[in-house]
Amino acid sequence: MKRALLLSVLVLSSASGCGAVALHPGAPVAVASSALAPDLAAAFAEAEREGQGHLGVAILHVESGERGAYHGEERFPMQSVFKLPLAIEVLARIDAGTLRLDEVLRIRPIDIRPGPSGALADELPASGGERTVLDLLERALMSSDNTATDVLLERLGGPRRVTERLRALGFTGIDVSRSEAELMMDFCGVVTRPPRDAWTLDGIRAATVTGPAARARAQEAYLADPRDTATPEAMAELLLRVHRRDLLAPPSAARLVGILERVTTGKDRLRALLPAGTVVAHKTGTSDGADGMVAATNDVGIITLPGAAGHVVVAAFLRAARGDDAARAHALARVGKAVFDHYAAR
């Protein structure tokens, strides 16, 4: 590491002791960041400008222990990145013998969630269906299937069980508080949620039809909410443990990394500018937008470097961004390339 860089960030103390919480992307104050090499600091600043938002990055070179951060102690909305800690809880239950990969779970009409394209919401009839835990786990991680996610969450006992696991493992900078359905309704500005037995696919779609003003207010509230957020530094530490395979029993740990290496989302993000064939185990997260702003565009993962250069963990979160889809994705691609080039050249 070369030197500490002064970064402009907005920091407020978290009442839960979970680290710094950035409540609004408003007027910044200068604080010292984690030590970050000048080339990386410059690349991250340029990526932030391109994305037209607020960028948070934490990096950790596994073999040397070298690390750095750019707004790394602030909280950023995770969106579907939360499916990584969800997967850890599922696999921990497998290891404990309280859940089986071949266990078949019923998917009721009130369990079906919108998105993404080609997911269970498009595949299943309105009456629902059945899938194994393994199938749901792979769908939740690889294609970010929202139906698979909420079915697993319900089987586990709700989002709080995921956060309880994180706390037991020593992670205080990551929070999982809401299901996909709850996040959708809150993000769209649904003031009064329909009763649980009305959470069908059509019911959620109808409930989330709100006007532009309501969505803009809801997005502002979402960005100010510490729930379902993570600090880049905490997420990087979690990814390090995933890479080291010390969170789970060996078969489950290997299974998790293997699934993350087969993720189909985010081809235009962290891995987009890396050499062909580079192995990246990662998870993406993306929100909708309102008032010309997208609340969250994220990608977090473990990059395998060439030769004997080792591995580097990268947790990149772009918040409150006004860049278009291509600009936001390319901003994260810049982060991935800068980190790869910095450590591969050693």
User: Mind listing the pLDDT tens digit for each residue in 111-129?
Assistant: 999 999 889 999 999 999 9
Establish how many alpha carbons lie within 13 A of residue 96's alpha carbon, considering only the half-sphere containing its beta carbon. 11
CB 166 within 8 A of CB 174: yes
Domain boundary among 190, 222, 254: 222
141 and 214 inside one domain: yes
23 and 44 inside one domain: yes
Domain boundary among 186, 206, 222: 222
Residue 295 lies in a domain: yes
pLDDT over 80 (residue 2): no
92 and 193 inside one domain: yes
pLDDT tens sequence across 248-272: 999 999 999 999 999 999 999 999 9
Question: Which H or E element spans position 76?
Answer: strand 76-77
pLDDT over 50 (residue 33): no
CB environment 133-153: b (16+ within 10 A), e (fewer): bbbbbbbbbbbbbbbbbbbbb
43 and 90 inside one domain: no
CB 165 within 8 A of CB 147: no
pLDDT, position 34: 57
Strand, helix or coil at 343?
A: helix
Percent of the chain with pLDDT over 90: 89
pLDDT, position 117: 87
Domain harbouring 327, CATH code: 3.40.710.10
Residue 44 lies in a domain: yes
Residue 111 lies in a domain: yes
98 and 54 inside one domain: no
236 and 201 inside one domain: no
Residue 278 lies in a domain: yes
Q: Give the pLDDT band of residue 12 (cuts 50, 70, 90).
A: very low
Instruction: Give the integer Cα–Cα distance in Å for 165 and 342.
Output: 34
pLDDT, position 29: 29
Q: How many domains does the chain divide into?
A: 2
pLDDT tens sequence across 304-345: 999 999 999 999 999 999 999 999 999 999 999 999 999 999
**Mean of pLDDT values over 166-191:** 97
Residue 283 lies in a domain: yes
Out of 5-14, 101-110, 292-301, 324-333, pick the least confident.
5-14
Q: Give the pLDDT band of residue 35 (cuts 50, 70, 90).
A: confident
pLDDT over 50 (residue 245): yes
Instruction: Give the integer Cα–Cα distance in Å for 216 and 292.
Output: 9
pLDDT, position 185: 97
**Mean of pLDDT values over 205-223:** 97
53 and 166 inside one domain: no
70 and 94 inside one domain: no
Domain boundary among 222, 245, 270: 222
Instruction: Give the integer Cα–Cα distance in Å for 184 and 186.
Output: 6
E strand segments, 100-240: 104-107, 129-132, 229-230
101 and 217 inside one domain: yes
Q: Tell the residue number behind the tokens 């470097």, with chain if given.
A: 305
Residue 1 lies in a domain: no
- Taking all residues of the chain, what is their mean pLDDT, rounded to a whole number? 91
66 and 86 inside one domain: no
122 and 196 inside one domain: yes
22 and 58 inside one domain: yes
pLDDT, position 346: 82
How many C-beta atoms lie closer than 10 Å to residue 216's C-beta? 17
Residue 280 lies in a domain: yes
**Mean of pLDDT values over 104-108:** 98
Strand, helix or coil at 15?
A: coil
Cis peptide before 116 (omega within 30 of 0): yes
pLDDT, position 215: 97
Q: Which residues pair with 296 in a beta bridge?
A: 319
Q: Which residues pair with 302 in a beta bridge?
A: 281, 313
Percent of the chain with pLDDT over 70: 90
Identify the domain containing residue 319 by its residue range: 6-77+230-344
